[in-house]
Each structure stands twice: as C-alpha cells, then as structure tokens.
Amino acid sequence: MAILLNKDTKVIVQGITGFQGLFHAKKMRDYGTQVVGGVTPGKGGTEIEGFKVWDSVAEAVEATGANATCIFVPAKFAKSAAYEAIDAGVELVVLITEGIPKIDTMSIVKRANKKGSTLIGPNCPGLITPGQAKIGIIPTNIVKPGKIGVVSRSGTLTYEVLEQLSNAGLGQSTCVGIGGDPYKQTNFVQVLKLFQEDPETEKIVMLGEIGGNAEELAAEFIKEHVTKPVVGYIAGKTAKPGKTMGHAGAIIQGGKGTADSKIKTLESVGVKTVNRISEIPDLLK
Amino acid sequence: MAILLNKDTKVIVQGITGFQGLFHAKKMRDYGTQVVGGVTPGKGGTEIEGFKVWDSVAEAVEATGANATCIFVPAKFAKSAAYEAIDAGVELVVLITEGIPKIDTMSIVKRANKKGSTLIGPNCPGLITPGQAKIGIIPTNIVKPGKIGVVSRSGTLTYEVLEQLSNAGLGQSTCVGIGGDPYKQTNFVQVLKLFQEDPETEKIVMLGEIGGNAEELAAEFIKEHVTKPVVGYIAGKTAKPGKTMGHAGAIIQGGKGTADSKIKTLESVGVKTVNRISEIPDLLK
Amino acid sequence: MKKKGNFKGTRNIAHSLQIGRAIIMGLILEYEGKEFLFKKYRIPMLEYRLVRSREEAEKAIDELGAPVAVKAQILSGGRGKMGLVKFSRTKEEALANYDEITSREFDGRPINLVVIEAGADIKQEVFVSMVFDNTGNIVVLFSAEGGVEIEKLAEEEPEKISRFVVPFDDEIYPYMFAAGVGKQGFTGKVKMKIATIIATLVKMMVKEDLQLAEINPLIITNSNDVVAIDSRIGIDEDAMFRHPEREEWLSAELRDTPAEKDAHEHGLAYVDLGGDIGMLSCGAGMGMATADLIEYYGGEPRNFLDVGGGASPEKVENALRVMVSEGGLKSILINAFGGITRLDDVAKGIIEAKKKYNIDIPMVIRLNGTNQEEGVALLKEAGMEAYLSMEDSVEKAVKLAKGEN
Amino acid sequence: MKKKGNFKGTRNIAHSLQIGRAIIMGLILEYEGKEFLFKKYRIPMLEYRLVRSREEAEKAIDELGAPVAVKAQILSGGRGKMGLVKFSRTKEEALANYDEITSREFDGRPINLVVIEAGADIKQEVFVSMVFDNTGNIVVLFSAEGGVEIEKLAEEEPEKISRFVVPFDDEIYPYMFAAGVGKQGFTGKVKMKIATIIATLVKMMVKEDLQLAEINPLIITNSNDVVAIDSRIGIDEDAMFRHPEREEWLSAELRDTPAEKDAHEHGLAYVDLGGDIGMLSCGAGMGMATADLIEYYGGEPRNFLDVGGGASPEKVENALRVMVSEGGLKSILINAFGGITRLDDVAKGIIEAKKKYNIDIPMVIRLNGTNQEEGVALLKEAGMEAYLSMEDSVEKAVKLAKGEN
C-alpha cells in the first residue's frame, strides 16, 4: 500500500521543458513512475523526450487523468503553477521549488486546503515509495522497499539516512520530504497520521530541525494517535539563537524551537531520539 | 411577529454624528425604535442628543448588545463601515448609503454571506414594522400596522404605495425597501420567503423595476414556495433598452429585464400585476 | 459629474431608465481605454495618435505611414457599421476619410476627436468581452470569430463562444483561460498570449472599477502577435472617488448632454426622453412610475427629472430651470409625494422658478404628504392649484399637452 | 545577494542556522524602513536626515535645530541599550554624540551611517510589533507601555499587551484594532490614529513582503499626534524579485560579512560560526548535521558552508576559496554524500582549489554515493584519501584541529 504515492499514480511534471524538470521527469520515469506528460505554457502540442506537453494543467489532466504533479518552475511562477494544479483538481501537488516568497506559499497552502489537494513542499525533495514510484528528486539508488516510514524536513540529510537504512537491510514503505520552509500544508503530523494508518508501515523515522514548532506538534499527535515506534533526529544543535525576529517574534516564539527543547518534547512522548544518524538503524531493529 | 425587525431590536446608527445620521436616528427613536447608540470613529466616549457614541461597532455591540445597525456613512467609507458591523456579528445590517462602487458592494455582500449577517441595501430606504420600529428613512406617518407585507426595489415609490394602502385601511406587517443597486444580498426572494413564513403577513405587495432578473427569480420562488396572494407592480415601461452594455452584457442579458417580460413572468406564476399604483389596494381587498 | 458622498441621491436611477439597473456604467472612448488602461497594463496595441484637426491628422498619417485606420472617437460601439471607422490604403484616402468622418455628427454633436492608427497585418480576428453578473462573478465571453455579429453568433452557434465565470475576488492567472481558448482552436504561444490578455482584462475589471471590458477585434498577426485593435470600456461612475483623474477625461464631457450636465452639477438626475411633457418627480422610482403613467394615458414624457427625496426649494427651482431650458414642452407635470420631502419647500421652488424664468407652459402640480396644507396654501397665494391624486394629475398633464382641457 | 530562480538552493537554511527556520528575514535599517516604506504609506514621522560625515551631521543639526536624536544605523534592535541612540539637547551635545557613536564598531564594521532626527514632544510611548505565525496569520502585539522591556512585560503582565491575529489574506481596516487599542486605555482620535497605523503596518506586511514590522516607540505627543520614532522592519528575501530596488539598499550590503557576500554571489550558503574547523557540505540539512557532529566529538565548526545538491567542480572550488579566505582554520572537513551530487565533480573541485589556493590546512574528505569510485580514484591520483563514513571523517577532522593524529 504505502502512503500518498504508488505505481498507479499518474504524474505530470510542470516545467517539463526546463533543464531540471526534464532531467527529473526522466529519472522518475526510469524508476517506473507513470509520468503521463508535462506542462509548459506556450509549448502545448509539442513533445519532448517522449513526454507529451500541454499548455495548462487542466488540459493535461483532461487528456491523461493525471492525479499528481511535480512542480519544477522558478520561484517567480511557482504560485501560479501550484494554483493551476490545485484548480485542476490534482490530488497530490509536489512543489520542489525553493525560494518562494512567504506570502505566495501561504496563498498556495490556503488554496490547497480549500480545494482539497494534498500539497508537499515547497522547498522539498518530494517523496518516494521504493519499488513503485517517485515524485521529486530523491535518489533512487539509496532506497529499497520495506516497512520503515521516513518523514523529513531536510533534503540531503534524508538521503544519508535512507542509505544507512538500506545498507542495514531496513527497507522503506514511503519516504516523504516535507521541505524546509516554515509554511506548509503537509507537516510531520499529516504524514505521521498516514503512516499510522498504513498497514505496510511498521516503524517511523522522523528527521526534524531547529526552529518553528512542527516537532512539538508532532509530539502532541504522537502522544494521542501514534502506536507505531518512532525514532527521531533533530539537526541544528550547533545553531545560535536568533536575534532578528523582533519583539513580537521573540514573545510568540518564547523559549521554543531549540534542538534541546524539541528533543525533550519528543522523548517525553516516547520517541527515541539519537545524537548521530548512524545510531538510527540499530534503534529500528 | 413581523419580519426582520420588531420592538425588541436594538439598533445602533453608524455615522450618528453626521447630519443625516443624527436626523434619522432621532426619527427612529421617536417612532419607538430602541436606538441604543451610535458609532463615529474618533468620537468614542462622547454623547450626542442623548445617544452614546463609540469608536467602533465592536465596542458599541459589547456595551449595548445591539443586534442591528443603520449605516449612513458616505460611499467612500461604506465598505469599511459595513465590514465592521458584519465582523462585530451584527445580525441585521441596513445600508442606506447610495453611490457605493460595485466592487465594494460585492465585497460587502460576500462578507455578510460568509459571516451570516442579513444585509439590506445598499441604496435603500431601510425597513419598517409599523407600530413597532423602523431602521432607515421610511416616513412613519404613511404606515399603519396590519397584515400586508411590502417589498420594494424603489424608494419613493414605496411611500406612495404605503400611503395608498394605509388610506385604504390596509395596514402593513413589515415594509422592506431592498434598494435599487444591482448587487445585493437581500432580494425579493429572501423577503418573500420571510413573508411566507410570517404568520402575521397575509398578503404581499411587490414593487419591481426594469433591469436585472430579480423579479424573474422572485417568480420562480413564488411558483414553488409562496402560497399567500402577491400583487406586483413593475416601474419603467417607458424606458428605452440599453445601448451601452457591450456584447457580453447583451448576450448574457438576452431579451430579459424589460418591464413587459417581467410582468409576463410574474403573471404566469399567479401574481396579479397592475398598471397603476392606485389599482393595488383593490386587488388586496 | 456630480460630487459623490451624499448618501441618498438619484443619479443611478436616471441611467437605469436607459439601460436597466443591471449594468450601470459610463462608456469611455476607445482612445481613453487604450491610453489610460491598456498601456498601463501592457496590452499589446498598434501605434496610434489622437488628432483634433486636419493638420494633426496629416502629421499622424505621415508619421505612421499608410495604410492607416481613421476612427471616430464616440461613446458607442458599432462604429464600423456606422461608417465611423475607415481603413485607408493611402495618405489621400486617409485624409478623405478624415474629412468625411469629421463632417458628420453623433448624438447631436460634431465629431472632432479622431484616432489615426497604424495598419495591421491581420491573420485572424477574435473577440473578448466581459461584464459582471448580478451575483459577483465576472462573465467573460471569448470567440475565435471576431467582428460585429457576435450576438447573432451567440444565438446560432453558441459552441463557438467560450464562457468563463470568475468570482470577482479571485486571484487571476492566464492558466484559467487556457483550456477555454484552446477549445476555440488555439494552441501554444498564441493561446497563452490570448489567455494572458483575457486575464489582464479581468484584473482590470476589479482594480480599475470597470463594468465592461471588450476588445473586438483582438487580432492575431501573421507573426503570431496578439494585438488589441479596439477598446470598449465602461467604468463604474460610483467609483470615481478612487480615480479622480477620470473626471478630466474627454468622455466625462461627452457622456452627458448639456442639460444632463447642468442637472448633474446641481445634484439632479436628468434623462432626455424625447416627448413633450416636462416631468419633475421627488424620488426616482416615483419618476419612473410617473413616466409610465404618462404613457398609460397616451402622453409622452419629455424627460426624466428627479430632485430626489427631501429636496430644497433651490433644487426644485434649478430643476425647473433645466427642464425649460431644453424647449419643446407642451405641459409640465410636477409629481411630489411628501415623505421626507416637505411640500411647502416644493411649492416655494415652483413659485420662485415660475417667476424667475417666466414659465408660461401649462403646469400641473400634485402635492400629497408632509406639509401638504402649507404647500397648497403657498401655491394658491401664487394663483396655482394642486392635485392630490397622482393619476388625476398625470391625466390632466397629458390632456394639456394634447391641447385638450 | 544571490540571484533567485534556481529551484534548489541553500540560502534559507544558512539563515536558519542563525535564527531557526520559523522566521527567515533580512533586517533593514531604521532609515530605510522610514524612507522607503513609512513615507510611502504615510505613517507620521518626525523630520530626519541620513548623514555620512561630520559635516553632514552638523548641517542636519542646524537645519532641524536642537534638541535632536543621534541614531546609529545598524542592523539590530536594542540600540538604546548599546548607547547607539542618543538624545542631545544642544548642537554641541549632538556633535559630541555623533563623534562618540561613529568612533564605535558594530558587528565588526565601523558605524558611519547615522540619522539625525528632530526632537519630539512626548506624552506617552507605546509599542507595536508584528510577525507571521506558522499558519498564515499576522500576529500583532500592541502595548501602551513602549520602551525596550517588552519581553519582560509580556511575561509579567501579559494583560498589558493586546494581541491581534489577522489572516494574511483578509482586507485590513482600522476598526479591526480599535477595541484592542481601547482596552489599553485609549479613546477617540488617538485611539483611531493608533489603530490606523497598526492597520497600515499589517497591510505593508503583505503588500511589501515583510516578515517583521515593529515601531518601538510609537509616541503620542502633547498635541495628540501619533508619530513613529523608530522603524524595525524585516523583509522576505525570497520576494526580492518583486522589489528589485531593495538589492540597492544600504542594508543589502550590511547584512552579510564579506565572506558571506562572496559566498552568496557564487550561489553558496555561508554562515560564520566562530570555531576552527572549516566545514563544507553538499546539502544544507547535511551541513547542520555535520556541524552537530563536530560539536558531538568536541570540535568547533568555523563556518557553515553549503554547496547544495548537484554542485559543479567550480562551485566546490569557490566554496573552498571562500572558506580559506577567512583564516583561522585548523582543519577542513568536506562531507559529500552523493545523491544528486556526483562525487567525481566534488573531487575535481577539491583538487583544483587545493592547487590554486595552495591550501595546506589538513583536509578530511568523506565521499559516499554516486560516482564514489571515480571520486576516490581522482583524489588518490592527487595524493589524497577519502573516508566512507560521516562519523569517522568528523572524528578525524576534530582530532586534526586539536593537533592530535
């Protein structure tokens, strides 16, 4: 089963005629993902490396029945691209683009919530269900099918963890990179819920970072709703506390958001946390 | 019972320190309406002719429990004033102001719909429940309590009708002036529904005008839901068809909106229509 | 144009007499739509010049080079059919067309504003037009078949028109129109250029307080550019306080006849209806009903003239001045119902006007309501009578206009 | 500031090392907030001049007339406590304060931008500050007790702070803040002036892509004017493409150290962390984890330096150049996990940099993943070794920095 994505998911790539879009569209297809085409406004009716191209998501969806999209367009156009996918009723919108203005991201999240799309990202590596399909840029050579669910705020760090898991013989059900931006729709809680409900996922790895309160919210959720074992890692212990967030920021943030407070909160609800990534596989055995 | 407004309704007046606001606040109070105060931003804490003044509707509502407002502020500030009332949870918002930009009116209607306020107007004379209370500018000397519900798109024409009804011994349950602007929340249909449900209303008078499709929608509603007798009048037979509405306007409007087509549609669902206002009382007897 | 901000006026309803309340707007000139709106929003256009004299026309033709189009600037669509837009292959032809057009009149005024526009390289003409509906949506029509017979096309081959319905407060992007434009046979760059222009117009509708935005034709050139040849824009006159510069536009002058302008400046609503019975009402709905009643009794109202509720003596006096300034009246009907209006004030205004402007056209006055007795007494003093019933007064005015008694 | 538009970079996470990902922003100068934002939105202010020399300062003091405030322009709050804002009763005092302030340094730079501001007639100081929360709301704090001890007030007397939560996409009006401002003891005109300024700031947050907007103090004068004395604004650096003029602001220069600036210009993320182990990672999360691991083994990273995923040899080379340009390194750790990144590219960059910049600081390299064999082979050829495990490489780098082996 896995979560969010499997071999039946029909994926389009927005920005498919760009360098990154095309490169990763091919990688996705090579892995077995059903990439049914792509969208680049103004290039509709053409074809590129075997991918059909449409001018708009609505037209691509009408023609192919796509239910997922992977967005590679530049930050300046990301809002319009994401809106387009959401408006066309695409169920799973994976927004790889980084550097999107905060206001634009908030608008995208709001529209996705309103129209019922699941939005992964922005500024994320996407997701992969090993052995079935991937959307995004997670390398395929470091994953293998199995029963560990992985959810992560960090991109490259995830790859390190995936490889260590695979090397230790711990395959993955699905790995979701939720992305590093502060505003998002799909956060730890949403993915933990899916992993908890997924019969193929037995244990969960959660890779967090300093800042914000996503890990704290995850801890609350785990306490109430997650019965599967969770192993956690928080990056950023070295980081210095911020100085630029203004009085309102400081008052709202309070003492929260540091690595230590996150680790403490997670431990308090039964999550085993590690100091070094290399300790993760052992805790899952 | 009557509809929308009775002697227990607590009314504030927005723009109460302006000439019109104060003049009509006094008239309303004189008629027995519970005018519990008024709002003029920047004049909070003062008093005028026995009315307490607040800086904002929220504060006035908190202090008085007001559940209705009558807005007399200039068109330029009408949107903010109406938003303020809606946000403060005021149930009945009567917007007298005319000349409000269309986009502003659409925004007000949308916000009222979203937050559950009933909006009467803009560009309307307000409403009166004879013998109990009035909100707006309908003269009180021409009405008398009774069982005829009156709903009208026109201001002064309504007064003529009210006087003829009263002179003929036909008192009114409530008279609602829904206002002449094309965009509104409370239209014929909404008022007809309330009159149909109101046990004190026995018969209904409906004063329409050329343009738009409010009368046509009313006819549809009457056909399905109104069992009480309805008498109708449509002003504007003399009017020439428009030339400035563009192709889109012409195509969307089609042949609808003329006095003749409205009269025909109303007659087809059993509404008795008249050519002269003086014929109305006889049809109600 | 009258000052805004008074909370109970009558201007809108005057317009509604002409066009129905659903769509109330002030058209602006093609030139204004292009110069003040399309340029700002970067809608592609051909080069053009506004000219006011034969010398300016000649200079413009020389600068742009033949062929050019010579286009009368009037507040109306259908200029092509009227022969007021003329394509001209040579300079001589262009000047001849300029002379012909400026020799004509429209709406009772000479035509002296003309646009000279560069010639176009037209592969296809398309059409886009949009208005608000009554529920807060912008309704956009688009067809690959531009030209003037759009209403006919809508009736006979509705599938050739794509219709988009956009909530007024949504954010607007070209993708929203791509599939619909695609259905009319466009693809790739041309499709997206058209979709972008439609999106831009929709944004303008909200940001610029428009009530109508139409480009017909929008052309596709042989090099696949998409270019606006015409602009037909209606503005929301109630939003003038947000766009004060529009008070100075040429169209603000052209929109009203001199009598309408005079009336508006005094806070009155005035519409010329073409008959012979001068009509003054206190309140707009009453005005409409009175006009209807005049026709019911076989007469023809000369005008719609409304002083609104609660009018002062001065306002009534001014209204009568405006009314008689137009001439052609056979009788005058004053229908005053006193709700907010004080009838003694109305009577004072009538008496003063009659004296000041030596009005000797037969006058029928109806007074009913607030301060009726005082009003009737004042009239009597001045040798005039008043009716109580609206019907009776209208019937009398019609008879007088027909020379009966 | 680096160019935007690449879809997978690393700049944000570098900032996140300093301030946590929740609030990522670039502070601007008080002067810029006032000159480029407050003026545009008509927030009332006192007269002020930006001066860059003693002559300009003297001229400004003469023009404004004593008393004046002399205010250092630095990218930080708390200037009062640092003695970098000084009220001056006379011209002499003002010049002395100017001399004192400009003799000092902040963040390793001389202070040479100063604002001279007219003296204020202060009846009361109040405080307003706003940021976004993580759910798309703007959170506004307002207190009638302005000054610098706001965090303390929030803790000890929270009822003295009014908190407003406004959805980012709502339309904003002063009425929304009137009751809350009223609760802090204001009424009538002063209340509405404060509410209007708060509403204006909230609008600015969205329209101007801000991440922080704070006025502390906002003052009420004896004539009941409400005037912004300070401005503390953080901008969303990801929105720079909508505000290209900000690239030219003075704060854009001040925000980064020279090494950071150099790094950003080459698409690298660089943060100075103060230790002695130079650290280069391919990917930002990896960088954070590597820094943590360095501390875990008892070392101190000199920097956070990230080339991102899929880096070219040139990028790696530039990163090493930036790293060594800062000095003070006892060892260098390169942690490359090859997912998208090709490790032969990383190896090429390392070899080239070592040669070009004569780097003789002990270097520990970890290569694991895509094209690992090729990378290791290239290093071997150049006389270098590579670790496979992250832990081992970090441990080694820490030992080297401590002079162990």
Check CB contact of B113 with chain C, cutoff 8 Å.
no
**Which pLDDT score, from 0 to 100, does residue C348 have?**
96
Establish whether A247 is a catalytic residue.
yes
Give me the CATH number covering residue C320.
Answer: 3.40.50.261
Q: Quick check: bond before A122 cis, omega within 30?
A: yes
**Is residue D205 domain-shared with residue D354, that is, in the same domain?**
no
Is chain B in touch with chain C: ≥3 Cβ pairs within 8 A?
yes
Look at the block and give the residue holding tokens 């000797």: C360
Q: Name the residue in chain C with its Cα closest to that of A59.
A: C179
**Is residue D23 domain-shared with residue D162, that is, in the same domain?**
yes
Contacts of A108 in chain C (CB under 8 A): none
Q: In what order do the strands lie in the sheet with B47-48?
A: B47-48, B51-54, B34-39, B10-14, B68-71, B92-95, B118-120
- Residue C208 Cα, gap to closest chain A Cα (Å): 22
Find the mean pLDDT for residues C288-294: 90
**Is residue D204 domain-shared with residue D67, that is, in the same domain?**
no
Is C37 inside a domain boundary? Answer: no
**Partners for B (CB, 8 Å, 3+ pairs)?**
C, D
Q: Of D378, D392, D381, D380, nearest to D316 (Cα)?
A: D378
Confidence of residue A284 (pLDDT cuts 50, 70, 90): very high
Is D264 inside a domain boundary? Answer: yes
**Is residue C210 domain-shared with residue C273, that is, in the same domain?**
no
Q: Name the residue in chain D with its Cα closest to that of B85.
A: D175
Q: Given the residues A114, A240, A243, A247, select the one marked as catalytic.
A: A247
Find the mean pLDDT for residues A102-121: 97
Question: How many beta-carbon pairs under 8 angstroms link B with D?
Answer: 46
**Are the Cβ atoms of A41 and C187 closer than 8 angstroms?**
no
Nearest to B236 among C4, C288, C301 (CB): C288
CB C226 within 8 A of CB C192: no
Domain boundary among C197, C214, C242: C242
**Is residue D225 domain-shared with residue D107, that is, in the same domain?**
no
Is C349 inside a domain boundary? Answer: yes
**Is residue C271 domain-shared with residue C373, that is, in the same domain?**
yes
pLDDT digits (tens, 9 = 90+) for C185-194: 999 999 999 9
C79-100 per-residue burial string, b: 16 or more CB within 10 A, e: under 16: bbeeebbbbbeeeebbbebbee
Q: Quick check: bond before C217 cis, omega within 30?
A: yes
**Is residue C165 domain-shared with residue C18, that is, in the same domain?**
yes
D150-168 per-residue burial string, b: 16 or more CB within 10 A, e: under 16: beebbeeeeebbbebebeb
Nearest to D175 among B46, B56, B107 (CB): B56
CB D223 within 8 A of CB D121: yes
**Is residue C126 domain-shared with residue C111, that is, in the same domain?**
no
Domain coverage including residue C325 = 258-401
Domain boundary among C213, C242, C271: C242
Contacts of C282 in chain B (CB under 8 A): 156
Task: Give how far the C-alpha of residue B181 lies from the chain's centroid of Cα atoms, to the nearest Å.
Answer: 11
Residues paired with C235 in a beta bridge: C26, C210
Find the mean pLDDT for residues A175-200: 95
**Are the Cβ atoms of C175 and A43 closer than 8 angstroms?**
no
Check CB contact of B228 with chain D, cutoff 8 Å.
no
- Residue A166 Cα, gap to closest chain C Cα (Å): 42
**Which pLDDT score, from 0 to 100, does residue D327 have?**
80
For Cα atoms D136, B76, B125, give the angle at the middle one, nearest 5 degrees. 110
Is C290 inside a domain boundary? Answer: yes
**Which pLDDT score, from 0 to 100, does residue B246 have?**
57
Contacts of C173 in chain A (CB under 8 A): 80, 83-84
**Which pLDDT score, from 0 to 100, does residue D5 have?**
30
Is chain A in touch with chain B: ≥3 Cβ pairs within 8 A?
no
Give me the CATH number covering residue C56.
Answer: 3.30.1490.20
Number of independent structural domains in chain C: 3
Q: Name the residue in chain D with its Cα closest to that of B57.
A: D175
Tokens of D27: 């502070």
**Are the Cβ atoms of B210 and C16 closer than 8 angstroms?**
yes
**Is residue D395 domain-shared with residue D292, that is, in the same domain?**
yes
**Are the Cβ atoms of B57 and D187 closer than 8 angstroms?**
no
**Is residue D345 domain-shared with residue D205, that is, in the same domain?**
no
DSSP 8-state secondary structure symbol assigned to residue D387: B
**Are the Cβ atoms of A110 and D136 closer than 8 angstroms?**
yes
Find the mean pLDDT for residues B216-228: 96
Check CB contact of D311 with chain A, cutoff 8 Å.
no
Interface of C with B in 319-338 (CB under 8 A): 337
Is D85 inside a domain boundary? Answer: yes
- Top residue of B23, B94, B97, B103 to mutate, by most chain C CBs within 10 Å, is B103
Contacts of C199 in chain A (CB under 8 A): none
Find the mean pLDDT for residues C28-55: 97
**Is residue D164 domain-shared with residue D23, that is, in the same domain?**
yes
**Which pLDDT score, from 0 to 100, does residue A204 have?**
98
Cβ neighbors of D158 (< 8 A, separation 6 or more) are none
**Which pLDDT score, from 0 to 100, does residue B254 have?**
58
**Which pLDDT score, from 0 to 100, does residue A103 have?**
96
CB B257 within 8 A of CB C315: no
Interface of C with A in 158-177 (CB under 8 A): 171, 173-176
- Across chain B, mean pLDDT equals 92
Find the mean pLDDT for residues B192-218: 94
Q: Given the residues B243, B247, B276, B285, select the one marked as catalytic.
A: B247
Is C59 inside a domain boundary? Answer: yes
**Partners for C (CB, 8 Å, 3+ pairs)?**
A, B
Cβ neighbors of D73 (< 8 A, separation 6 or more) are D29, D30, D31, D50, D111, D113, D114, D115, D250
Q: Name the residue in chain A with its Cα closest to that of D302.
A: A238
Contacts of C283 in chain B (CB under 8 A): 154-157, 159
Contacts of D191 in chain B (CB under 8 A): 42, 44, 55
Conformational region of residue D332, where left means phi above 0, alpha means psi within -120 to 50, and beta covers everything else: beta
Check CB contact of C192 with chain A, cutoff 8 Å.
yes
D323-334 per-residue burial string, b: 16 or more CB within 10 A, e: under 16: bbebeebbbbbb
Percent of chain C with pLDDT over 90: 65
**Partners for D (CB, 8 Å, 3+ pairs)?**
A, B
pLDDT digits (tens, 9 = 90+) for B250-269: 655 555 678 888 999 999 99
Check CB contact of D179 with chain B, cutoff 8 Å.
yes
Find the mean pLDDT for residues C282-286: 82
**Which pLDDT score, from 0 to 100, does residue B51 have?**
98
Is C2 inside a domain boundary? Answer: no
- Top residue of A40, A55, A86, A115 to mutate, by most chain C CBs within 10 Å, is A55
**Which pLDDT score, from 0 to 100, does residue C308 have?**
79
**Are the Cβ atoms of C23 and B247 closer than 8 angstroms?**
no
Find the mean pLDDT for residues B137-164: 92
DSSP 8-state secondary structure symbol assigned to residue C247: G
Burial of D244 (0-12, 13-18, 19+ CB in 10 A): exposed
Cβ neighbors of A166 (< 8 A, separation 6 or more) are A142, A143, A144, A172
Confidence of residue A30 (pLDDT cuts 50, 70, 90): very high
Q: Name the residue in chain B with its Cα closest to that of D173.
A: B80
Residues paired with C45 in a beta bridge: C228
pLDDT digits (tens, 9 = 90+) for C199-210: 999 999 999 999
DSSP 8-state secondary structure symbol assigned to residue D35: I
Question: How many beta-carbon pairs under 8 angstroms link B with C?
Answer: 259
pLDDT at A181 over 70: yes
- Stretch among B203-217, C208-222, C261-275, C362-376 having the lowest mean pLDDT: C261-275
Check CB contact of A75 with chain D, cutoff 8 Å.
yes
- Residue D210 Cα, gap to closest chain B Cα (Å): 24
**Is residue D94 domain-shared with residue D126, that is, in the same domain?**
no
pLDDT at B136 over 50: yes
Interface predicted TM-score of the whole assembly (ipTM), two decimals: 0.90
Check CB contact of C244 with chain A, cutoff 8 Å.
no
Confidence of residue A243 (pLDDT cuts 50, 70, 90): very low
pLDDT digits (tens, 9 = 90+) for C107-160: 778 999 999 999 989 999 999 999 988 888 999 999 998 765 777 787 888 888
Nearest to D21 among A212, A241, A248 (CB): A212
Give me the CATH number covering residue C166.
Answer: 3.30.470.20
**Parallel, antiparallel, or unpaired for β A145-152 and C68-72?**
unpaired
Which residues of chain D, if any, have pLDDT below 70? 1-25, 147-148, 405
The HSE-up count of residue A46 (CA atoms within 13 Å, CB side) is 13
d(C-alpha B30, C-alpha B21), whole Å: 14
Is D7 inside a domain boundary? Answer: no
